[in-house]
Chains A and B, each alone.
Chain A
Amino acid sequence: MTMNHDDRLRNRYEACRSGMQELDMLRAKHTLLIQNLRSRLPIIPGSLDDVQTREKKTRDVFLDRFSLQSVDSGISSQNTISSTRSSTPEDFKTSNRHSNIYENSSTTMNYSTFRKMSLESTHSSVSHSMQNDVEKTSFAPPVITSRSCHRGAWKTSPQRIRPKSMFDSTTSNTEYLFSKPPRHPIDLTKERRSAFTVLNQSSKRHSSIEPSLPSTLSQLSLNDEAKTPQKAEVIRWNKQKADAMFRANVVYVSSTEQPTKPAPLRFSPARSPPVRRALPIELKPTQHFAQPCKIRSPKLNTKTVFAAKPIAVRPSISPKVAQRSTWLQSQPL
């Protein structure tokens, strides 16, 4: 038992050793692969600090872009608000304020210049205090852009638009107001016309009564016209019936002729012997009389059959070998 235990331990030790060797080999392969990959990749210029600064700059650029998009969305929302509030008197006050802003902006620079300045300020900033300034300046461009957009909107839509809208609305309302009353009397007239139409219908009824007389006359004429084709039809029917009757008569005649002929044939073989009936039947050469001749033929055949049987009944004699009265010997074979 102790020997077996020792053997097991040795096996386990050897297995562990082999496992460790495999791990070492795998580690070596891994390191070689990594070195190869690093050698293939290009070398990054500069130090790690430079790399970090570049990353920060790229992040700032992305943030600026997002801020610009938000500004655009804000501009659109403000435009919608102004359009919805155009009818209220407060909007006039706000419009005056926007006009004042427009006057102030005329003295300042254009949007493109402001955008360039903001980008330059972001790139030139180095210290944290400058970063704060950049943040402050970053808020300025959206305001400018919004103002410019509003200015453009007011330029495109001056005060004239408001009165146009007011006139349009008023004219439309007035049209509806003026249109409604005249339609009502029209409807009333239509109803009255409907009353007149009823009268017309009554008049139509009278008119329907009046032509009833000529309609009756026409009916009378139609009846007269109808009677004549009815007579003709009756005549045709009578003719057809007559034809049918004649045809039927022909059919009956043929049917009456047929049963009379086979009747005596049926009775003749039953009543009297065939010898006596054979002579008168042969004298009448007709298709019907030909049938009993056919009936007689198998009798003749049966007679021939009887004649053949006795020949078969005759016993056949087998040939017999005649024995010789000698005893032969052959030549030498």
Chain B
Amino acid sequence: MTAYGHMPGEAIECLSIAVELHKQEVIDAHGQVTIRVGFKIGGGIDQDPTKAPFKYPDSGVYITNVESGSPADVAGLRKHDKILQVNGADFTMMTHDRAVKFIKQSKVLHMLVARADLPPVSLH
């Protein structure tokens, strides 16, 4: 079984990658101090995956873009990775807006991520 194509609310059994991401403080062009992560997310339980620019199989939260040289790139995140858990919160059952707010909330993110390259796990 893989993490892709799951139904919301059902249990998932798959291999995952643990990532620890430390945000970076950056001074904006306007002179303001901002905290930078370096990636974009898309999707959510309230979104329609058929309207996505990529063929995502379910309504989970996915990383749609990773900036080169950013903390996300340094941590090892890649494009099209599916976010399973962030600081203990289940992202497979989270709406889009709520997911964005949750990522902005803390400076350090302990993430579990699923990737298509990983081999599937056979159920018992």
Contact = CB atoms under 8 A, between A and B. Distances in A.
A321 B44 CA distance: 12
Contacts of A331: 40
A327 B38 contact: no
A326 B48 contact: yes
Interface string B57-78: 0000000110100000000000
Contacts of B65: 332
A325 interface: yes
A333 B104 contact: yes
A59 interface: no
Contacts, number: 54
A5 interface: no
User: At the interface, is chain B mostly helix, strand, loop or mixed?
Assistant: mixed
Range, interface on chain B: 20 to 34
Contact of A332 (B45, B52, B67): B67
Contacts of B42: 327-330
A279 B117 CA distance: 89
A329 B96 CA distance: 8
User: At the interface, is chain A mostly helix, strand, loop or mixed?
Assistant: loop
Given A321-B95, A325-B51, A330 B45 contact: no
Contact of B39 (A324, A325, A333): A333
Interface of A: 321-333
Interface of B: 36-53, 64-65, 67, 95-96, 100, 103-104
Pairs A-B, 8 closest by C-beta atoms? A329-B42, A327-B51, A327-B52, A333-B37, A327-B47, A330-B41, A330-B100, A328-B96
